[in-house]
Each structure stands twice: as C-alpha cells, then as structure tokens.
Amino acid sequence: MPAIPFALQLYSVRDHMNTDPVATLKAVKAAGYDHVEVVGRAGYPPRAFRQLLNDCGLTPVSAHVGLKDIEKDLRAICDSAHTLEIPYLVFSGDAPDRQGWLELAWQADEIGSLLRKEGLQLCYHNHAHEFARIDGEYPYDLLMANASPENLQAEIDVFWVRFAGLDPVEQIHKYGHRCPLLHIKDMTPEPPYTFTEVGRGIIDMPAVFRAGKEIGAQWYIVEQDESMRDSLESVRISADYMRQQTI
C-alpha cells in the first residue's frame, strides 16, 4: 500500500502569511511540503492565488470555509474550489444544546448534498467541545449520525480528541468509513497541555498513522495552532518527522 501523503494547514503560519504570503509559501515549500490545506486566500482572488501556489511549487488539497459562507453564496464557494482544484471543503461548528447539534447536522447534510452535485465533498473538523456529553451523548456522534455519510465526512483532529480525554485511534477506527482527512498535531507532555511539533509530544503518532492507513485516509494534514518558536521553524520540524515515517 502506498504511503499516505501529507500537507500543511496554512493556518499554522498565519502570522507570516499575514505579512508576506509569497515569501511564506516559498518557505513552506522549502520546509518540506508539496501540498497545503488553505484557509482564506491572503487577499488574492482564486485564480491569482492558485497561480501563486503553483509558482511556489505547492498544490492545494482542501480548504477550510464557514458553513454560513457556503450557505450564503454556494456558487462563489464552488467556483473558488474548482479554480483551486480542491475536492474537499471543511468546516467547524458549535451548538448550544442537543437540538442545535441536530439542526447543524441537517444543515450540513443539505449543503453537503448540494456540494456533491458540484463534485465537492463536505467534511467536519472537530475541536474538543464535540466530545463533551450532552444528555449522555457526544455532539460529534449526534452530528455524524444525523447527516448521511456521503454528504458529510470527517477531518478528525487527533490533538483535540486527545485533549477531550478520548483515544484518537479509537475515533479514527469508529469513523474510518467517512474519514478521508486527518489533522496531525501533537501535544506537549506536561500541563498546561498545548501544541508542539509532530513527533515531539505524547500522542502516539505511529499508531495514528497505522490507523489512518487501515481506514484508507487520503491525506494527513499537519497543523500547529500555536508555536513556541517561529512558526516556520515549527512546521519544518514537523515536516522532517513526517518524511521519516512509513505512513
């Protein structure tokens, strides 16, 4: 079985992207990434941003968007995704109660169905709050149970699953049939638990990679929400680790 490729979520280097996107994207390439997950376009229109990525030797594989943004202007979001040539659109959400999570699931199901007609796949990116029980149920399970798998798939974030006190590998296996994307990020060994470079924390990354391969994940996407050193140096360290793995 071939290795699963990895990409970088550009949110990891947003501080540099905000000041000099051209130099930042060149540095991301030099750090060891050939693929990226985008969030915004640094002020560029879609075609110009795709050309910038091409010029820097980077290929986008997915994008984070707001569900409300898709609902507000489905056509513009689809056109942008087609211009960037990305198959996955990823969102995050929250709700105040059980009914709110059900309504979010129904909304995602409807929007995901519309996106599929455009050749696009909607995915959900979790944080920790989806694993705080409401009336004995995890909101994440409510969301997934009430949207059809073909309309809503998963981008499981292993850090936030672990932060919530659950086993990321178990969640990967539980939702493996609908998990094309995995967010790969590591956790510091000591409290207060926060983000560190992949391979330098307490999350069992080899087990995560084995699970990803077993369930047929398509992409590992490296992200570090906050860095204790320069963010470009952090993503370089993570890329070095990823290249060393048989994933």
- Calpha distance 206→186 (Å, rounded): 12
The predicted model scores a pTM of 0.96
Q: Is the peptide bond before 5 cis (omega within 30 degrees of 0)?
A: no
pLDDT bracket for residue 245 (50, 70, 90): confident
pLDDT (tens digit, 9 = 90+) per residue, 61-88?
999 999 999 999 999 999 999 999 999 9
157-171 confidence digits (pLDDT tens): 999 999 999 999 999
Instruction: Give pLDDT tens digits for 169-182.
Output: 999 999 999 999 99
- Identity of the amino acid at 89: L
pLDDT, mean of residues 43-68: 98
Report pLDDT digits (tens) over 120-155: 999 999 999 999 999 999 999 999 999 999 999 999
pLDDT category of residue 247 using cuts at 50, 70 and 90: low
Q: What distance lies between CA 74 and its chain's CA centroid?
A: 20
Task: With cut-offs at 50, 70 and 90, classify the pLDDT of residue 3.
Answer: confident
In this predicted structure, what is the pLDDT of residue 58? 98
pLDDT of amino acid 1:
45
3-class DSSP assignment, residue 83? helix
User: Average pLDDT over the chain, rounded to whole?
Assistant: 97
Count CB atoms within 10 A of the CB of residue 3. Answer: 12
pLDDT at position 35 over 90: yes
| 3 state DSSP class of 219 | strand
